[in-house]
Amino acid sequence: MPIPTGRFAPTPSGRLHLGNILCAMLAYLSARSQAGRFLLRIEDVDIPRCPRRLAQQAIDDLTWLGFTWDEEPLYQSDRSDIYRAALHRLAEGGHTYPCFCTRAQLMSLAAPNLGDTQVIYQRTCANLTPEEAAQRALTRAPATRLRVPDEDISFTDGLFGIQTENLERDCGDFILRRSDGLYGYQLAVVVDDALQGVTEVVRGRDILSATPRQLYLQRLLGYGAPEYVHIPLLVDHHGRRLAKRDKDLDLTALAQRFTPADILGMLAFSAGLIEEVRPSTLEQLIPLFDWQKVKRDDLRLPECIMA
């Protein structure tokens, strides 16, 4: 049996918010309660959006809260060579193609069924001949897409049960490397989870629908799949989404009013790990941790966190 290995993988394009800290806490408690390893990975693959200053801030915030991790934090911005090699393997297998579409073209061709943030690619560039692709590459650097099959991919989420997605219908051919040369999140996360020996992925429910894509990439690259647990949304005591403008819940503001144990206690209460709000360190929460206690509905913060 491999050593149980969890990880927290923030994208430092802004300061960590309470939802991130809740994920980190549950990932940490799950790993440590199995006497497992816990890793920190900085997902700064989108280098321009993720300055090192914010990565360091995330590390400082986690340290202040009492998190410890095994090994040095890994920075995705240092790992382009590794992602390039994985992309090369996928290309050799005939699973990728260059895409010359501009953002404007993509938006105008989009099938309007996934909301405005995600669109299913209509395979405009999927069947270019090598000559056509070479011709277009003279004037525009292409992105690289993965060709996905018309296949249902299922997995069992630790909280939400069986989840199924048809990659062609629900997701479409997706980007592995952007036209500016930066690698996409899906590729980087799959490569890193595999190479770091991650056995359990705990992350926000907003990423649940990316999991079938990641399972498919794992299969193509010959990697095993970790277990997945997606965490419900963290909401305020009225059940409303937390807004970025909620400055009272910013860590700078919270740190003036609360200790790390206060904050972790409130999050542990929201998740259902403890029945009343009380200051709790990570050490104290480890023996109390049990996925069975974690609710599937939105997780409500206690009112006392509000200023």
**Contacting positions for ligand GLU (CB under 6 A):** 9-11, 43, 189, 201, 203, 207
Q: How far is the CB of 190 from ligand GLU (least distance, A)?
A: 9
For the bound state, the minimum distance from the C-beta of residue 43 to ligand GLU, rounded and expressed in Å, comes to 4
Confirm if 40 and 30 have CB atoms less than 8 A apart: no
Q: Name the token pair of 141.
A: 């650097």
Please list, in sequence order, all residues whose beta carbon lies within 8 angstroms of the beta carbon of residue 284, skipping any fewer than 6 positions away: none
**Least CB distance to ligand GLU at residue 8 (A):** 7
Q: How far apart are CB 203 and ligand GLU at their closest, in Å?
A: 3
Nearer to ligand GLU, 43 or 170 (CB): 43
- CA-based torsion, 108, 114, 116, 118: positive or negative: negative
Cα separation, 168 vs 151, whole angstroms: 7
Give the helix/strand (H/E) hosting 39: strand 37-42
Q: Hey, what long-range contacts does 181-186 have (CB within 8 A, 24 or more apart)?
A: 181/141, 182/45, 182/46, 182/47, 183/45, 183/76, 183/80, 183/83, 183/84, 183/87, 184/45, 185/11, 185/43, 185/45, 185/46, 185/210, 186/210, 186/213, 186/214, 186/217
Residue at shortest CB range from ligand GLU: 203
Closest approach of Cβ 38 to ligand GLU, in Å? 13
Question: 124 or 196, CB closer to ligand GLU?
Answer: 196
Residue 49 Cβ, how far from ligand GLU at the closest point, in Å? Answer: 12
Tokens (6 digits) for 225: 């799949």
Q: How far is the CB of 121 from ligand GLU (least distance, A)?
A: 22
Q: Based on CB atoms, which residue is closest to ligand GLU, 4 or 142?
A: 4
Q: Which residue type sits at 304?
A: C
Please identify, using beta-carbon distances, which residue of 98 and 226 lies nearer to ligand GLU.
226
- CB nearer to ligand GLU: pick between 189 and 261: 189
User: Which residue, 10 or 260, has its beta carbon nearer to ligand GLU?
Assistant: 10
Query: For residues 5 and 11, which CB has a smaller minimum distance to ligand GLU in the complex?
Result: 11
HSE (CB half, 13 Å, CA atoms) of 173?
A: 20
